[in-house]
Structure 1
Amino acid sequence: MNTRLTRTLASVTFALAALCGLAFAGTAVTHMLDDGAVCVETGFWQNAKLASDEPLPIREGVDAAASATRLCQDDPSVAQRAADLGNELPWLLFGALALLLFSRLLNAVLEQGPFTDAVSRRLSALGWLVTVGTPVAGLVVGWSHSWLVASMAPIVGSEPTVAGPQALILAGLAAVIMGKIMREGVRMREDLEGTI
C-alpha cells in the first residue's frame, strides 16, 4: 500500500471538505445579506407563442426575459431568497460531508490498515450518506426551484422534481455492501486468529 499517496489524498480530501464547508457558509451569509434580484429559470413558456401585446401571467415586480424562460424578482422576500439558496446549498453541504467522511476513511486506512473494523464502518457510513444524501439534496433543490418559480408566476405551478446525479445512489449502495462484506471478513479473520 502506498502510504504517501494515501496520506496526500487524505489531506487533499480534507482540504476540499473544508473549502466546501466554507463555501456553504459564505454563500449562505452573503446571499441572505444581498439586496439584489433573485432569478430562476423555467421551461414552462419555452414553446409558447404569445402575442406581443399579451402580458405574461407573472406577479408584480417580476421581470421576464424575452424567451420567458428566466424570471427575476427585483425586490425578493426573505422566503424567495431562502428558496434561491436551495438551488446551491444542498449540494455544497452534501459535498462537504461526503469529502469529510472519505477523508476519515482514508485516515483509518493509514492508522489501522485497510481490512479493519473501523475502515468497514467508515465505508458503510460514507455509503449511507451518499445513498440517502443524494435524493434528499436533489429533493431540496427541486422543491426550492419549483416554489421559487411558483412564487413569481403562480399560474405555472410546476411539480417538484428531484435534481442532481441520482446515479450516485448506486455508488452509495455499493459502498454500504462493500462495508458489510469487509466487516464480515474482519470478523472471520478475528475468529480464525482466535482459534490458531
Structure 2
Amino acid sequence: MGGCAVNTRLTRTLSSVTFAMAVLCGLVFLGTGLSHMLDDGAVCVKTSFWANASLGKLPIGEGVEAGSSTTRLCQNDPSVGQRAADLGGELPWLLFGALALLLFSRLLDAVLAKGPFTDVVARRLSVLGWVVAVGTPLAGLVVGWSKSWLAGSMAPVIGSGPEVAGPQALILAGLAAVIMGKIMREGVRMREDLEGTI
C-alpha cells in the first residue's frame, strides 16, 4: 500500500515537472522566434563541409566573414531568407521537445487517472511514439536543410547538400513506444474479453 502511494506521488511529480518543461520549451520557442525576428545583427552558421580547405580559397559572398578552423560563416547584413534559415536551424527541436514533453505529461496524467493498463494510456503511448518516430527525422531534416541552405547562401559550393541533424536514435524509441502501445491495447482488450466471460 505504501509503495503504491510512493509510485503515485512520484508519477504526479514527474507529470508536473514534465508539463513545466513542456511550457518552458514552448516559451523558449516563442522567445527565440521573436528575438530573431526583431534582431538586426549578423547571422552565423557552422559547417564541416570545408574542414580541409584553406579559408583563403573559399568562395564566400559579399559581407560574409569566415572563421578559421571550424568554418564558421557570418553574414553581417542577412536577407530575410537567411534570417528564416537561421530560425530553421534552432526552432524545430524546441517545438519538437515541447510537443513530446506535453504528450508525455498527458500520458502520465492518464496513468494517474485511469491506471497504467488502460486503453487511454495505450492510445496516448502510441500517439507519443508516432510523434517521436516521425518528428525526430522531420525536425532533423528541417534543421539540416536550414543550416545547409544558410551556409550555401554565404559560400556557394556545389555538393554541400542538406544533412539530417540531431539524435536520430530517438526514432527507435518512438517505434518502441508505438509497439508497446499496441501490445498494451491488445492486453486491455483481452482482459476486457476475459472479464466479460466470467
TM-score by length of 2: 0.94
Aligned equivalent of 2:101, options 99, 102, 118: 99
Compare 104-113 and 81-90 and name the one that shifted more: 81-90
Corresponding pairs, count: 193
The reply on whether 1:42 has 2:47 as its aligned counterpart is yes
Aligned to 2:9: 4
Q: In structure 2, what residue type is equivalent to 1:159?
A: G
Aligned equivalent of 1:161, options 154, 163, 179: 163
**Equivalent residues of 1:150, 1:157 under 8 A apart:** no
SS at match of 1:161: coil
* Runs of 5+ unmatched residues, structure 1: none
Aligned equivalent of 1:184, options 183, 186, 198: 186
Once the two structures are superposed, residues 92-140 of structure 1 have per-residue CA deviations (whole angstroms, 9 ceiling, x without a partner) of 0000000000000000000000000000000000000000000000000
Distance 1:45 1:96 in 2: 34
Aligned to 2:82: 80
* Higher helix proportion (structure 1 or 2): 2
TM-score by length of 1: 0.95
Aligned to 1:151: 153
SS at match of 1:60: coil
**Equivalent residues of 1:62, 1:74 under 8 A apart:** yes
Aligned to 1:175: 177
**Equivalent residues of 1:149, 1:156 under 8 A apart:** no
Q: Identical aligned pairs, as a percentage? A: 80
* Runs of 5+ unmatched residues, structure 2: none
Distance 2:54 2:33 in 1: 38
